[in-house]
A and B are shown apart, each in its own frame.
Chain A
Amino acid sequence: KQEVTQIPAALSVPEGENLVLNCSFTDSAIYNLQWFRQDPGKGLTSLLLIQSSQREQTSGRLNASLDKSSGRSTLYIAASQPGDSATYLCAVSHISNFGNEKLTFGTGTRLTIIP
């Protein structure tokens, strides 16, 4: 059974610092891994999608890496800003026990950027 873990559950850093969020998954047979951002009381916004054949994706100040063999992904945020404060979720796309494709989510890391 695929399990996705995000540690820590919460993180506070001063504005301007670079930071790394971690995601680990137990089954390396994945189609892709996606990082989302969720603001309080809001839906999920897709940040980056890494296909299983890729090693990393970049968008602005965000860089996501994928190491399938070790079951790990990191989301790197450069020069953090207060507007980056949100919960960050990672999710892996894989085949379920029933043979259909599904997305398994981690429980997220709540990030607070201190001005």
Chain B
Amino acid sequence: NAGVTQTPKFRILKIGQSMTLQCTQDMNHNYMYWYRQDPGMGLKLIYYSVGAGITDKGEVPNGYNVSRSTTEDFPLRLELAAPSQTSVYFCASSYSKIGGQFFGPGTRLTVL
């Protein structure tokens, strides 16, 4: 199994541009999550999904959107990039809500 994969690894955006961060898992996990990690801060939950077709907001959802059309994929969309969205983004998945979460390698995003 490849586990959780994320693309791209790095990206630089200009203010106002949009992009989609891709996340795929091959473990047939129902639960998927998007986090952002800022220097000196713990990871913050952006959005999560408990299964295909079901998504919900986390702590810091503003400026982001998600969709979950399949069990495997959970893309994160930034519509109007802002400097405050400069961060490292991690996708994770788990089999159940009390099982451990498996993380992808992250996407480092810079908005200039």
Which residues of A are in contact with B by a Cβ distance under 8 Å? 4, 31-32, 34, 36, 41-46, 49, 51, 89, 91, 93, 100-108
Nearest chain A CB to B95's CB is how many angstroms away? Answer: 12
Residues from chain A with a CB closer than 8 A to the CB of B106 are 42-43
A34, B45: Cβ atoms closer than 8 Å? no
Complex CA distance for A106 and B42, rounded to whole angstroms: 5
> Could you list 11 further interchain pairs (A-B, Cβ under 8 angstroms) beyond the known A105-B43, A106-B42?
A31-B98, A42-B106, A43-B105, A46-B101, A49-B100, A101-B97, A102-B45, A102-B48, A105-B42, A107-B40, A107-B41
Which residues of B60-112 have CB atoms within 8 Å of chain A's CB atoms? 90, 92, 97-106, 108
Interface centre among A89, A91, A103, A108, by most B CB within 10 Å? A103
Residues from chain A with a CB closer than 8 A to the CB of B108 are 41
Chain A CB within 8 A of B58 CB: yes
Nearest chain A CB to B43's CB is how many angstroms away? Answer: 4
Chain A CB within 8 A of B26 CB: no
Residues from chain A with a CB closer than 8 A to the CB of B99 are 49
Q: A43-B90, A93-B98 are in contact. Are A104 and B103 (CB under 8 A)?
A: no
What's the tally of chain B residues with a CB closer than 8 Å to chain A?
23
Residues from chain A with a CB closer than 8 A to the CB of B43 are 89, 91, 103, 105
Complex CA distance for A41 and B99, rounded to whole angstroms: 25
Interface of A is mostly: strand
Residues from chain B with a CB closer than 8 A to the CB of A106 are 42
Residues from chain A with a CB closer than 8 A to the CB of B58 are 102
Contact bitstring B41-65, A, C-beta under 8 A = 1, else 0: 1110100100000001011000000
Q: A103-B45, A105-B43, A106-B42 are in contact. Are A44 and B103 (CB under 8 A)?
A: yes
Nearest chain B CB to A10's CB is how many angstroms away? Answer: 12
Complex CA distance for A89 and B100, rounded to whole angstroms: 14
Residues from chain A with a CB closer than 8 A to the CB of B102 are 46
Q: Can you offer 24 A-B residue contacts whose CB atoms are under 8 A?
A: A31-B97, A31-B98, A36-B103, A42-B105, A42-B106, A43-B104, A44-B90, A44-B103, A45-B103, A46-B102, A89-B43, A93-B97, A93-B98, A100-B48, A101-B97, A102-B45, A102-B58, A102-B59, A103-B33, A103-B101, A105-B42, A106-B42, A107-B41, A107-B42
